[in-house]
Amino acid sequence: MPRTAREVVFVDGVRTPFGKSGKGLYAETRADDLIVRVIRELMRRNPGLPPERVDEVAIAATTQIGDQGLTLGRTAAILAGLPKSVPGYSIDRMCAGALTAATTAGAGISFGAYDVVIAGGVEHMGRHPMGEGVDPNPRIISEKLVDPSALVMGNTAENLHDRYPTITKERADSYAVRSQEKVAKAYADGKIQPDLVETLVRSAEKGFGLATQDEPPRPGTTMESLAGLKTPFRAHGNVTPGNAAGLNDGATGTLLMAEEVAEELGLDAKMRLVDFSFTGVEPEVMGVGPVPATEKLFARQGISIDDIGLIEINEAFAVQVLAFLEHFGIADDDARVNPWGGAIAVGHPLASSGGRLMMQLARQFAERPDVRYGITTMCVGLGMGGTILWENTNYEGGK
């Protein structure tokens, strides 16, 4: 029997505004309601897509417990009003959950098993702190399979500073200030708002309201304001709340389909999935993961960083981004990198963040027909990295 290999395209993406965990926007909102809001908005924005044409719903969450459990892809699909014939499943690759949902479901499209998929992620770190309810096998530590610091992400960031001694606290703070400035400018220029869906929130004290923009950004952040922050993971260390992403809540969703199906339905294919790569690294320096993942992908494709016109890299910690840039010989302020800022400013709700990277890259592609290729890349807890290579469907030539 013949086997099918088809082009996979990104058609649309949407996300809730990201909130601060604890007493933030979504303190009294369920995690599954956040992802339901995203799925409903994807369908509303694409009326040419009959709901019954959705073949799969893949939703990621890092802490799959409570309102982030119970096969979230399936339950969210039902709650969102998709036909009962639409299946769904859950995915966990920690921070790269939404990236993995896209590559896994996208591979199903390429293989011919699906025509249309919804892939996304949600994380409510206020309700479910990372690691809640887990029971790590004691052999991990007793047999010294990993360094104990591997289980605390902030410690792994300090370890990465050790590995890259040229990445100082001042350099990390400077990167963080630029991230805040770029997010503020992107908001002022109306770049981020088109990806956001107003989301109902409730408070026993204040009643109902609407979340309309990201809560974490701190416009006006300066080097002076970051200089005095404590280093909670190591005395006299380098990692602070100012040069790392915070603890956040939020959901993202993306719509992927076969290119010919997008044409059939009259939907705009914004970028084409070319290739992807995941790889493992020493868990105690998990932040270096994007380097070998990207190198592996480049080697397979026969390309280099010079062929990449836009880079959306998750800012779990400034040092992790700077290690990637240093490895590839990219300046800290290279215009290709996170043009609209990143997670240090806007937030990092773990498994959902990959969706934000994808939708921002797609919008940047639309503005840059001179750019052919871009990547979305991120480090992953327990020592992994993931990178997706995308092609701009609006490419009109040039480098």
Compute CA 150 distance to the chain's CA centroid, rounded to the nearest angstrom: 21
Nearest in space to 379 (alpha carbons), one of 281, 256, 261, 301: 281
Instruction: Please name the amino acid found at residue 315.
Output: E
Rounded to whole angstroms, the Cα distance separating 10 from 194 reads 16
Helix axes 72-79, 31-45, angle to 10 degrees: 60
Residues serving a catalytic function are 95, 348, 379
Instruction: Please name the amino acid found at residue 7.
Output: E
Handedness of CA 347, 348, 353, 358 (dihedral sign): positive
